[in-house]
Amino acid sequence: MKTGHDVAIIEVGPRDGLQNVTAFVETAQKVSLIRRLAASGLKEIQAGAFVSPRSIPQFRDMNEVIAGIIALPKVRFSVLVPNLQGAREAVKSGIEKLIFFFSLSESHNLNNVHQTKEASLKGLEVIRRNFSTETPIELCVALATVFGCPFEGYMTTDHILKDIHKIANMGVKEISLCDTVGFANPRLVEEITAACLKDFPEVTFAVHFHNTRGLGLANALRAYDVGIRRFDAAVGGLGGCPFAPGASGNIATEDLVFMFNEMGIPTGIDLDSLLNVSGYLKEILPGVILSSAVYQAGLPQAQISGPKCGAPGGNPPFPTHRDW
C-alpha cells in the first residue's frame, strides 16, 4: 500500500454546497454529513462559514456543527470568514484554519461581499494581524472570479498576478484560485496557474473549479499537469455562487477522486464510502439533483459483468482495474 497522497482534495460541500441549498439542513444532519465525509478519507473539509445568519441562514448553527465534529482526529477543518468578528467566532469554536474570501473583480466583490476590493484587502490585513501571534491559526485566501467574472469578463494574467502580489505580501501562505462561474478552460488554467507557481514559490495554490460548462475535470487535469496539488470539490457536485447569475455546481468530489484514482494518483479517499455519502445527501436533500457523473453511472468495477450472449462461459481472469 502506498503512503503519502499525491493530491489533496478539499471537500467544500458542507460550505459551498449547503450555502446554495434553500432548505435548512438540520444540525445533526450537517454533523453526520461531515463525519461521513471524514470517514471516507477526506483530510480537509470546509465545514461552513461564520457569517451573518441574515446573509446565509444555512450557517446559523455553525457553533453547534463545529462542536459536533471538532474532536475528529486526522481532519483539518476550515471555515469561511468575512471579517474579524467571524474569524474570532471561528477560532473560539476550535477552528484552526480560516478562509477569507474576496473577488479579483471589483464588481463581483461589491455584489458578493458588498465592499470594494481595497476594503477587502484591509479586512484581510486586520484578520492576519489579529492572529499573527497565534501560531496554530492558518489563513487561506479564496480568490473569486480569477478565471472570469459575470460582470467584468476575463481578467488579464498581469491583473491577477498584481492582486496576488498584494495578498502574498501580507504573508498569506495559501491562495485558492476560484473559477466562480465556470468560465475557465484548460489553456487559461495553464497560463494562470503556471504564472502563479512561478512568481510565488512561497505560496501554496489550490484550485476551485465549477463544472458549469462541463470543463471542470479537464481544468483540474490541466492544473495537475502544471503542478497544482490541491483541489476543491463538493460531494455530489453540489454548490455554486448564489450571487453570480447562471453559476452552477462545483466539480463533484466523487468524479475528481475517480479521475485521480483511475490515473493511479493516490488521493487517500475511499470512493465507495464517498459514494455512500452522496447517497446520504439524497436522503437529507431529496429534492436536490446530484450532478456527479460517477454517482449516476456507478463504478466500472460494478459494470463489469463477465461474458454474456454466447461468449465462452465463465468469468475470464480479466483485470478489473488498470494496474499502473
CA 194 from chain centre, in angstroms, equals: 20
How many Å from the N-terminal Cα to the C-terminal Cα in the chain? 13
- CA 197 to each of CA 6, 53, 177, 191, 309: distance values in angstroms, whole numbers, following the listed order: 17, 37, 12, 10, 54
**Positions 49 through 68 that interact with its own copies (CB under 8 A):** none
What are the cell numbers at 120?
Answer: 477587502
**Measured between alpha carbons, how far is 227 from 284 in angstroms, rounded to an integer?**
37
E strand intervals along 145-223? 174-179, 204-209
Residue entry with cell 469554536: 93
Among 23, 28, 289, 304, binds its own copies (CB under 8 A): 304
Cβ-contact 45, 274 below 8 angstroms: no
One symbol per residue from 162 to 181: x for binding its own copies (CB under 8 A), - otherwise; what is it? -------------------x
Q: Establish if 311 lies at the interface with its own copies (CB under 8 A).
A: yes
Spatial neighbors of 95 by CB under 8 A, at least 6 apart, are: 47, 66, 70, 77, 78, 79
DSSP 18: G
241 catalytic per annotation: yes
Identity of the residue, 70 or 119, whose beta carbon is nearer to its own copies in the bound complex: 119
For residues 124 and 10, give the distance between their C-alpha atoms in angstroms, rounded to a whole number: 22
Shortest gap between Cβ of 3 and its own copies (angstroms)? 21
Shortest separation between residue 241's beta carbon and its own copies, angstroms: 12
Please tell me whether residue 290 binds its own copies under the rule CB under 8 A: no
- The correct pick among 1, 3, 305, 314 for binding its own copies (CB under 8 A) is 305
Residue placing its CB nearer to its own copies in the complex, 53 or 298: 298
Cell for 92?
A: 473560539
Residue among 68, 82, 150, 236 that touches its own copies (CB under 8 A): 150
Distance CA 225, CA 262 (A): 16
Nearer to its own copies, 201 or 313 (CB): 313
Contact track, its own copies, 239-268, x by CB under 8 A: ------xx-x---x--x--xx--xxx----
CB of 120 to its own copies, least distance (A): 14
Rounded to 10 deg, the angle between the 117-131 and 106-113 helix axes is 60
Window 185 to 224, contacts with its own copies (CB under 8 A): 185-188, 211-215, 217-218, 220-222
Nearer to its own copies, 11 or 174 (CB): 11
Give the residue numbers annotated as catalytic, written as ranges.
241
Site residues (CB under 8 A) for its own copies?
106-107, 110-111, 114, 148-154, 156, 181-183, 185-188, 211-215, 217-218, 220-222, 245-246, 248, 252, 255, 258-259, 262-264, 292-294, 296-298, 300, 303-312, 316, 318-322, 324
